[in-house]
Chains A and B, each alone.
Chain A
Amino acid sequence: AQRVTQPEKLLSVFKGAPVELKCNYSYSGSPELFWYVQYSRQRLQLLLRHISRESIKGFTADLNKGETSFHLKKPFAQEEDSAMYYCALENSGYALNFGKGTSLLVTP
């Protein structure tokens, strides 16, 4: 069965501190993983996908198949990073299975 687990409901860090949002998955095939972000009062939007191996807004995420993880990281958090972050796994029908989300709060 496909499952995406985000163990932290809320993560609070100080501005400038490193941040890591955890995501673990279970999937029998070759996973396609994404991070989506939802800023306050805005729609859900794609932050990054593992296949593109890019860094967006300073965030990176590495797929670790051995640990079945896709943690999102940023070395220096900014206040504007405060948002809801969802890890998602694409199924064979191209739909997304979402984790429960982690609310990131970056305080000055």
Chain B
Amino acid sequence: GAVVSQHPSRVICKSGTSVKIECRSLDFQATTMFWYRQFPKKSLMLMATSNEGSKATYEQGVEKDKFLINHASLTLSTLTVTSAHPEDSSFYICSASDREGGNEQFFGPGTRLTVL
């Protein structure tokens, strides 16, 4: 099946710094990538949808200047958490889909971000 990777798997940073998380589709071209955030004991919440070569579409309540998303190629999307604060600590998960293969989304393993 299709494989999606995320890097890093865990990151700890100081408050005020920026953190970049990469999401890669390893064996298919992802026309669309999605970024989700999972709070402890809560469901995955969609943050944004990104299509290759165009600006990401953010969900209501998600600060686009805070969570910068870039989808520069068909195999890579990045999420940058700018000026991170402890409340940004969370589990961030990306998924990717190839519309031509149907609308199944393939999920990355997630990135655990801890902001001190």
Interface residues of A, Cβ cutoff 8 Å to B: 32, 36, 42-46, 49, 86, 90, 93-101
Query: Number of contacts between A and B (CB, 8 Å)?
Result: 44
Determine how close the nearest CB of chain A comes to the CB of B116; give it in whole angstroms: 25
Interface residues of B in 74-116 (CB under 8 A from A): 93, 95, 97, 99, 103-105, 107-110
A99, B43: Cβ atoms under 8 Å?
yes
Chain B residues positioned under 8 Å from A44 (CB to CB): 44, 93, 95, 107
State whether the Cβ of B34 lies closer than 8 Å to any Cβ in chain A: yes
Number of interface residues of B (CB under 8 A): 21
Contact of B46 among A43, A46, A97, A99 (CB under 8 A): A97
B residues bordering A, Cβ < 8 Å?
32, 34, 36, 42-46, 49, 57, 93, 95, 97, 99, 103-105, 107-110
Closest to B46 in A: A95
> How distant is the Cα of A46 from the Cα of B104 in the complex, in angstroms?
8
A-B contact pairs, 11 of them (CB 8 A): A43-B109, A43-B110, A44-B93, A44-B107, A45-B107, A86-B44, A93-B49, A96-B46, A96-B105, A99-B43, A100-B42
Docked-complex contact A98 and B43, CB < 8 angstroms: yes
Does the CB pair B103–A32 fall under 8 Å?
yes
Minimal beta-carbon separation of B76 from chain A (angstroms): 18
Cα A90 to Cα B32 in complex, Å, equals: 14
Set of chain A residues within 8 Å of B103, measured between Cβ atoms: 32, 90, 94
* CB-based nearest A residue for B35: A95
By the criterion CB–CB under 8 Å, are B34 and A95 in contact?
yes
If A45-B107, A95-B49, A96-B34 touch, does A101 touch B43 (CB 8 Å cutoff)? yes
Contacts of A94 in B (CB 8 A): 32, 49, 97, 99, 103, 105
Distance in angstroms from B31 CB to nearest chain A CB is 10
Closest-by-CB residue of A relative to B31 is A94
| The residue from B34, B57, B105, B108 contacting A46, defined by CB atoms under 8 A apart | B105
